[in-house]
Amino acid sequence: MSGHGSGPDPERERDRAAAFRESVTGANVELAYAGIKTFMKGDRRDVDDVDDVDAAVVGVPYDGAVSNRPGARYGPEAIRHASGWWAYLSDYKGGLTNMQTGKTVDFDDLSVADCGDVPVFPMDRETTAESITAHLAAVAAQTFPVLLGGDHYCTFPAVRGFAEGAGHDSVGFVQIDAHTDTVSESPVFGSEFHGSSTARIADSPYVDYDSVSQVGIRGYESPEFFEFADETGLNLYTMREIEERGVRPVIEDAVAAAAEDTDAVYVSFDIDGVDPSVAPGTGTPTPGGLSAHQALEIMEVLGAHEAVGAADLMEVAPRYDSTEGTQRLAAYLLVTLLERAFAE
């Protein structure tokens, strides 16, 4: 038996670490790239324990329903990592002035929990959809849900979960996207893929096409698409209209149309709504899209609208963007929406 005393005192060593943090300026500021990667460095929570926060984040690392390039399964991790920058700024500088809006922001007024990723089943789309619905419903019963995708098919079960969990009979849907996702049936992909998500949402008991607003649409659709929009009452706002009218009046009209005669509005932002010169990290890039400034202004308007009750950010495929700019913009878009909703 050696004579080196009675061994370490665990309580004393814990006190030593606490004393260091208390005595060293900046020891409690966590760098953007440090720590466990939760959204905005929020508390890690279970989905049944978020009734005391403003918003709760869930990830869906699933891209089994894409029709072009895969990789959105890595989106939730990348967005979480990028979001640490805004948490760091808040810790480092305290109150912040948003130079876009001119408003003072106190992120201490914004409480965000991160519930991790829902269980997904790469070879079983139906069970994955059930998982998304169940977990979104659990969160929506307590607070504002934020979903990190994942491919855009995941939005369909998420909207269903939001409606059921929050007890809404009718939901408006604002979709920022390059594509309408209104394919009812594809001879290759069937009726359950990321190009059919809005069709499935509008077929649900909670959403009608006249409560759907689509913003930033461009590229190509079916030959009769404008007739389809007229017949169904779909509120369609193309990129050409944004260029002609300006982004703010367009998004104000879009959210007003979705909110009319509905209990709440679900916002879905497909990152390919942004021009691929700005956000190349996505599966189906389409030229001629939103600028970063226009995208942020959209989220400013939506975050301030009282009808908005849930949001997602979809189709970030980080491996196609070596600069990491796509996930950085995606995180900034969600931070902007939550900031306007809860921190001003």
For the annotated binding site for Mn(2+), the residues are: 152, 177, 179, 181, 270, 272
**Rounded to an integer, what distance in angstroms lies between the CA atom of residue 132 and that of residue 127?**
9
Contacts of 6 (CB under 8 A, 6+ apart): none
How far is Cα 207 from Cα 175, in angstroms, rounded to an integer? 13
How far apart are alpha carbons 124 and 209 in whole angstroms? 28
Query: What type of residue is 80?
Result: R
The phi and psi torsions of 25 (rounded to 5 degrees) equal -60, 130
Where do we find the tokens 């594809």? 186
Torsion of CA 119, 120, 125, 129, to 10 degrees: 40
User: Cβ distance 40 to 87 under 8 Å?
Assistant: yes
Burial of 277 from C-beta contacts in 10 A (0-12 / 13-18 / 19+): exposed
Q: Which helix (H) or strand (E) holds 19?
A: helix 10-23
Amino acid at 148: L
Q: How many CB atoms lie within 10 A of CB 16?
A: 10
Radius of gyration of the chain (CA): 21
Burial of 203 (0-12, 13-18, 19+ CB in 10 A): middle
